[in-house]
Structure 1
Amino acid sequence: MADRQISLLDFEDLSGWAEDDHAAALDVFLSTCGDMRGADWSALCALGDAARSDPRAFFEHAFRPVLIEDGADMLFTGYYEPEIRGDRFPSAYYSIPVYRLPDPPEAGWPTRQEIDEGAFDGQGLEIAWVHDPLDLFFLQIQGSGRISLPGGDAIRLGFAGANGHPYASLGQELVARGEYEPHQVSADVIRSWVRRNGEDGRALLWHNPSYVFFREVNEVPPERGPLGAMNRSVTPLRSIAVDPSVYQLGAPVWIEKAGADPMARLMIAQDTGSAITGAQRADIFYGTGAAAGALAGRIRDGGRMVALLPIQRAYAMLPDPVPGPGSGDG
């Protein structure tokens, strides 16, 4: 914590706080608070159902806003649950495998290119087959998704693991090559460049050696969101991915997102992501399907995020903690 600056705020310091739908935020908080560790969190979770009559008062009386900074500027991005077409059986059209997690190879994990070129052929790891390697790539970036099957059924996929190679941003690579300025890069721009550039486009995907493997999670009802890092469904525009070394999963987090579509609302930290690191970094879940993907792909905005912590826990984060009001085990 030595390299982090901790500031205790008041709810009056949160722009737009009074106008938010606190009941919606409370519902999402209660969906995962039972999985949180700590006597203070358990106590608040037990009070949650009784707080439905006045959810704003619940948050204001039981929590303290804590601004955590590490010197980096705030960056909000968006993510979604992709939905792509595929089949459980390979064909001339559906020829790109979607793999489950293999046992660790004795010779070390292959890169994305090596996997695409057949490193796991013949091992029976295929969950399904899709047509477009670019669709699979973005499904892996999101970490979960759905595959629509012929006949109307679907396979829901969740993150199972990765090959251990570091994630490399295609957008940053295109900027480094001089193809675009940083502010021009989005998921749609990357898709367009890859499709326009044939073999060079496929090679760009290999610039990112990281490769994600999936598992089937069809026990999740179709109307619910995909499973996040807490193994619970995430909620559109109420769940965010955060750095779990900074924010406890399940904690409420107030966001003030700038940009063309500003957003001020109480979110719940229920997910993580390999690119989500740092105290002022968050990924907002936008929902399922192409429309949600179009919205999520445009988000690259500044602002700030503020954790809501049990009061005693908030005071304990100060460099020289002082006793604070409220209850909890710290």
Structure 2
Amino acid sequence: MMPMNIRPAPSASRSSKVMRRCLGWSVSALIVGILAACGSAPPVVRAPVEPVRTVVPAAPGPAPAVGPVVTQSRSRWVPVPWDSLPGWGADNLFEAWNAWLKSCERPQPPMSALCAEVRRLSIGSPQEQMEWMQTRLQPHRVETLQGEPTGLLTGYYEPILDASRQPAPGFSVPLYQLPAGMTPRKPWFTRQEMETLPEAQAALRGKAIAYLADPVDALVLQIQGSGRVRITQPDGSMRWVRLAYAGTNEQPYRSVGRWLLDQGLIKDASWPGIKAWLAQNPQRQQELLWSNPRVVFFKEEPLGELDAAFGPKGAQGVALTPGRSIAVDPGSIPYGAPVWLTSTGNQTNLQKLVLAQDTGSAIVGAVRADYFAGWGPDAAELAGRMRQPLQMWILWPK
């Protein structure tokens, strides 16, 4: 998921999140509710969504194992030769190296043993980087425990919104900090109860960070787990901040798209399709929102020039890189692991090196990933419609 004044660039839930993905929400359940931002803000380098690259077809059938299979709690890893990775050798590896350097800020063994070499190779040639990877790493095809190598890729991003520090005409939808007295992993009030029960409203009094104009935008922000917000201060000045994931009310996530599909109200469950239905049925907006009982709470973080060049922090605790960070199920793939990803669909064709740096409550399964597209309209469009087949190879130290 750009100048911050704001022509947004491409970056996340997710329940890490950081779920920063809170994240972790599958962005097939995503609302493209981006407000075009304006006004002044610190300039940043635009990090565009990755261009579509030529797909190099895989060899017919899965490659045979070249060593013992490694079993994880939710997946198995089948060691395979490098030439079985579709598109290997065609990716611009240096574009992924910044994401790898971020993972080395919070490394986990055994990947931590490679970080000195990763840092040294940040100025190496693409050929040197590829040869080093082939020498030090072994690709493993990620499969379900039953041996299925194909799963699902969705996308997420960082919305850009306008907000007010205080309730004001046109800004009446609160975004809350984490309320005091909540018990971890114990369900709190649902979304509907938070808006209707006096005891819930009393617990939330004084906890609003900012106010949005549209409750649907607030839902989008909660699904993504993080957002860039231009806040109007009480003195009339403007300030850019990141609202980052702080926790949830521990209620189950329910996809509003699935709710509409189950009732036969729509056939297109992408967020453009959901927005179109809402435009025709505004009287049912509250019913739609309440169908998802989960609410995400936020914390405010500065959004300086360097911060704005990357996305929010993911579950690994490092800033996400547009087009090179993914959210995974940590029961299948450990945080910080490099992953070769291939996915072909209507939205984009991907054959590239990415880093497992985040998770989300909807990101469950062996061959399952959420692709961090960046921030802004382009990222929102890509993430909002991305739902396509996925194969992954984890690149693990020999």
TM-score (norm 2): 0.73
One-letter identity of the residue aligned with 1:58: W
One-letter identity of the residue aligned with 2:388: D
Q: Distance between the aligned counterparts of 2:75 and 2:102, measured in 1?
A: 30
Q: Is the 8 A contact 2:73 2:332 kept in 1?
A: no
Residue pairs, 1:91-170, within 5 angstroms:
91-105=168-182, 109-117=188-196, 119-121=200-202, 123-150=205-232, 151-170=237-256
Which residues of structure 2 form unaligned runs of 5+?
1-71
Q: Distance between the aligned counterparts of 2:209 and 2:103, measured in 1?
A: 29
Task: Give the secondary structure class of the aligned counterpart of 2:98.
Answer: helix
* 1:51 aligned residue: 121
Distance 1:111 1:195, change over 3 A: farther
Report the Cα offset of residue 223 of structure 1: 2.7
Q: Distance between the aligned counterparts of 1:154 and 1:192, measured in 2?
A: 30
* 2:345 aligned residue: 259
One-letter identity of the residue aligned with 1:13: S
Report the Cα offset of residue 231 of structure 1: 2.5
Tell me which of 101, 106, 110 is aligned to 1:35.
Answer: 106
Q: Which digits, 9 at most, give the CA deviation of each residue in 1:279-315, with x for residues without a partner?
A: 111111111122211111110000311111112xxxx
Q: Is the 8 A contact 1:23 1:56 kept in 2?
A: no
Q: Distance between the aligned counterparts of 2:367 and 2:187, measured in 1?
A: 34
Which residues of structure 1 form unaligned runs of 5+?
312-330
Task: Give the secondary structure class of the aligned counterpart of 1:110.
Answer: coil
Report the Cα offset of residue 108 of structure 1: 5.5
TM-score (norm 1): 0.87
Q: Is the 8 A contact 2:241 2:303 kept in 1?
A: no
Is 2:328 the partner of 1:242? yes
Q: Which digits, 9 at most, give the CA deviation of each residue in 1:131-159, with x for residues without a partner?
A: 10000000000000011224442221110
Superposition misfits of 4+ residues, deviation over 6 angstroms: none
Distance 1:170 1:29, change over 3 A: same
- Number of positions where the alignment pairs a residue of Structure 1 with one of Structure 2: 308
Q: Distance between the aligned counterparts of 1:103 and 1:309, measured in 2?
A: 42
* 1:83 aligned residue: 160
Is 2:386 the partner of 1:299? yes
Task: Give the secondary structure class of the aligned counterpart of 1:103.
Answer: coil
Task: Give the secondary structure class of the aligned counterpart of 1:149.
Answer: strand
Structure number with the higher helix fraction is 1
Is 2:139 the partner of 1:65? yes
Distance 1:152 1:57, change over 3 A: farther
Percent identical among aligned pairs is 38
One-letter identity of the residue aligned with 2:159: P
* 1:316 aligned residue: none
* 1:19 aligned residue: 90
Q: Is the 8 A contact 1:34 1:42 kept in 2?
A: no
Q: Which digits, 9 at most, give the CA deviation of each residue in 1:92-136, with x for residues without a partner?
A: 311111001112458961001112336235621010011100000
Higher mean alpha-carbon deviation, 124-133 vs 5-14, is at 5-14
One-letter identity of the residue aligned with 1:98: L
Greater relative contact order (Cα 8 A, min sep 6): structure 1 or 2?
Answer: 2
Report the Cα offset of residue 88 of structure 1: 0.5
Report the Cα offset of residue 3 of structure 1: 6.3
